[in-house]
Amino acid sequence: MFAIVREPIHVGSVIEAVVDRNAGAIVTFLGTVRELTNGKKTVYLQYEAYESMAQKKLQQIGREIVARFPHAKVAIVHRVGRLDITDIAVAIAVSTPHRADAYEANRYAIERIKEIVPIWKKEYWEDGEMWVGDQKETVRYDGGAPREEEV
């Protein structure tokens, strides 16, 4: 299961996608919308994605994990649209025969999402707003959303 969705993420479905009789561990990660970012009070976030490419990149991350951990099962779902405080933005589940591998694979997944998946967010604060150009927050789009040539 690798998906970009507009509705709330059903965590149970993400976990069920990786259940395996030979797995000794399932590790889940839920990325949620926090209220304070760098001292600013967030009102809500708006996520946008180049959806077809984002889904392919999520699948690529799954393949990378299985290449490193051959018995792993991976599911990643990222939500787009308006997300309020405490909403789940991303859910990752990884199962492996041993817990250490599941933890490592899950952390790898979230870091790779931030590196290669074309998802952007606009942060809305009490006193303004800003497009964050990438999920590692190293690029800003002061003039608005990314232009097509920047995707």
- CATH assignment at residue 126: 3.90.1170.40
Residue 137 has pLDDT above 90, yes or no: no
Residue 110 lies in a domain: yes
Number of domains comprising the chain: 1
∠ CA 130-132-134, rounded to 5°: 170
Pinpoint the alpha helices (H) of the chain. Answer: 11-16, 51-68, 99-116
Taking the C-alpha atoms of residue 99 and residue 114, their distance in angstroms, rounded to an integer, is: 23
Residue 7 DSSP class:
S
Residue 143 lies in a domain: no
Domain containing 72 equals 2-132
The token pair at 8 is 């709330």
Residue 140 lies in a domain: no
In degrees rounded to 5, what are phi and psi of residue 88? Answer: -85, 120
pTM for the model stands at 0.88
Place of tokens 């490592």: 104
Residue 148 lies in a domain: no
Residue 86 lies in a domain: yes
Parallel, antiparallel or unpaired: strands 40-49 and 119-125: antiparallel
Supply the mean pLDDT for the chain.
91
Residue 11 lies in a domain: yes
Query: What band does 39 get if pLDDT is binned at 50, 70 and 90?
Result: confident
Work out the percent of the chain whose per-residue pLDDT is above 90.
81
Residue 149 lies in a domain: no
Residue 74 lies in a domain: yes
pLDDT, tens only, 76-123? 999 999 999 999 999 999 999 999 999 999 999 999 999 999 999 999
